[in-house]
Chains A and B, each alone.
Chain A
């Protein structure tokens, strides 16, 4: 079946892979033209390639994408964690929020999506699509790109880097990017009426609720007003405290 003999089949195999010289290609093609066995073998090589390529998985789980993005994210210089400077009462109050509210859980697919976008954004050399520390300028850019207004407020102790666009649960969503003590923090603001906004309200109700997301990232969700979902590389209680202090 494999050509007219072993030597010719090895030639055919290399020709099939484009790994022969031009002169050899001409010689092999002339042989194929006159050899039925090698012609059939050449066709089988093509069929086999099609079958192997068709069977190859191209799917990569979101969790692996998030892990890879985390591994690729630039390392920020470590500084003392801010919770050391916060009062114990504030920490305790914030931590109490983490698991306090009796609402639905945040779907793991949404957690993965949030963390993945957070990491992928900060893995880029220029994390933002629009770079500015001016909240009004960022809000204006987002309004133009998304067609809905986003209130760009700066949580205490954070520095606004700018914004980018991404999709959360299929909806084009604003991602505000901050640094807090040199640690990345992303605030996702989905459009009203989107699945992501409903998920946020389902999880946080009319308050603020936090959880530990994949890869040790904190996720806090604000359900009151325009829903927002926040991912940061700090303790969930600290993040809750930061967001509670926001104007």
Chain B
């Protein structure tokens, strides 16, 4: 049983709309369908909020509800060809910082990642985005994707390896590493702070 009051649940649910919309866009490939899916998810979530066991895992729970709503609609089954929707265009990816060369290369890296991502198998891509962008744990991703945790671990490693391979076809890794230092920092247990 969720320990959140109705108002807290509503407030937190509304704060999760960006995440729900990002994933819905990938699932439906259509802005209009994505918004319909988010609304249907919100309606389902408020009805089922007593099923939320751990309020700290609200996002993962909502994404599971969203997947369930999608799978229960004929339109969802037909259109279930995920795509990556960047949202902010390439021009908006990197804030100008005065170092034009680094900025151009960094933007180029981000564009390269996006292109490479589009070529990944949908389940790998989905797992990667649920981890990196939506910040779900392996356990939560497993629940969203309906697979064992070990499969999530394997999907993520394969997705990343394939991504790097495609990126390396575009540029030498030394060049990427040389220009993306601002976004990378090796620290204990993980390579970047959020």
Query: Is this pair of chains taken from one and the same complex?
Result: yes
A residues apposed to B, CB below 8 Å: 1-2, 6, 9-10, 13-20, 25, 29, 32, 39-61, 63-65, 67-69, 71-72, 120, 123-126
- A14 CB → nearest B CB, Å: 6
Q: Are A68 and B39 in contact (CB under 8 A)?
A: yes
- Residue of B7, B14, B168 touching A68 (CB-CB under 8 A): B14
* Residues from chain A with Cβ under 8 Å of B194 in the complex: 53
In the bound assembly, the distance between CA atoms of A63 and B39 in angstroms comes to 11
- Residue of B87, B94, B114 touching A59 (CB-CB under 8 A): B87
B residues apposed to A, CB below 8 Å: 5-7, 10-11, 13-14, 17-18, 21-22, 25, 35, 38-39, 42-43, 46, 85-88, 93-94, 109-110, 113-114, 117, 128-129, 131-133, 137-138, 153-154, 156-157, 160-161, 163-165, 167-168, 173, 176-177, 180, 182-186, 188-192, 194
Nearest to B113 among chain A residues (CB) is: A51
A40-B173 contact in complex given A47-B109, A72-B42, A125-B6, C-beta closer than 8 Å? yes
A53-B160 contact in complex given A19-B153, A45-B191, C-beta closer than 8 Å? no
Q: Are A17 and B87 in contact (CB under 8 A)?
A: no
- B159 CB → nearest A CB, Å: 9
* Residues from chain B with Cβ under 8 Å of A15 in the complex: 189-190
* Residues from chain A with Cβ under 8 Å of B182 in the complex: 50
Q: Are B177 and A50 in contact (CB under 8 A)?
A: no
Q: Is the interface of A mostly helix, strand, loop or mixed?
A: helix
- A214 CB → nearest B CB, Å: 13
Nearest to A70 among chain B residues (CB) is: B39
- Residue of A1, A6, A49, A60 touching B132 (CB-CB under 8 A): A49
Q: Are A10 and B157 in contact (CB under 8 A)?
A: yes
Q: Are A19 and B180 in contact (CB under 8 A)?
A: no
Nearest to A33 among chain B residues (CB) is: B186
- B191 CB → nearest A CB, Å: 3
Q: State the 4 A-B residue pairs at the shortest beta-carbon distance, nearest first.
A: A57-B87, A50-B183, A46-B191, A125-B7
- B185 CB → nearest A CB, Å: 6
A125-B5 contact in complex given A40-B173, A53-B132, A59-B18, C-beta closer than 8 Å? yes
* Residues from chain B with Cβ under 8 Å of A14 in the complex: 138, 153, 156-157
Q: Are B113 and A48 in contact (CB under 8 A)?
A: yes
In the bound assembly, the distance between CA atoms of A18 and B192 in angstroms comes to 11
In the bound assembly, the distance between CA atoms of A15 and B188 in angstroms comes to 9
Q: Are B153 and A71 in contact (CB under 8 A)?
A: no
Q: Are A47 and B161 in contact (CB under 8 A)?
A: no
- B82 CB → nearest A CB, Å: 15
Nearest to A41 among chain B residues (CB) is: B164
* Residues from chain B with Cβ under 8 Å of A120 in the complex: 14
In the bound assembly, the distance between CA atoms of A89 and B14 in angstroms comes to 43
A13-B157 contact in complex given A48-B132, A64-B38, C-beta closer than 8 Å? yes
- Residue of A16, A40, A71 touching B177 (CB-CB under 8 A): A40
A-B contact pairs, 7 of them (CB 8 A): A17-B190, A49-B183, A51-B113, A60-B18, A65-B14, A125-B5, A126-B7
Q: Are B164 and A55 in contact (CB under 8 A)?
A: no
Nearest to A47 among chain B residues (CB) is: B180
A52-B46 contact in complex given A41-B164, A67-B35, C-beta closer than 8 Å? no
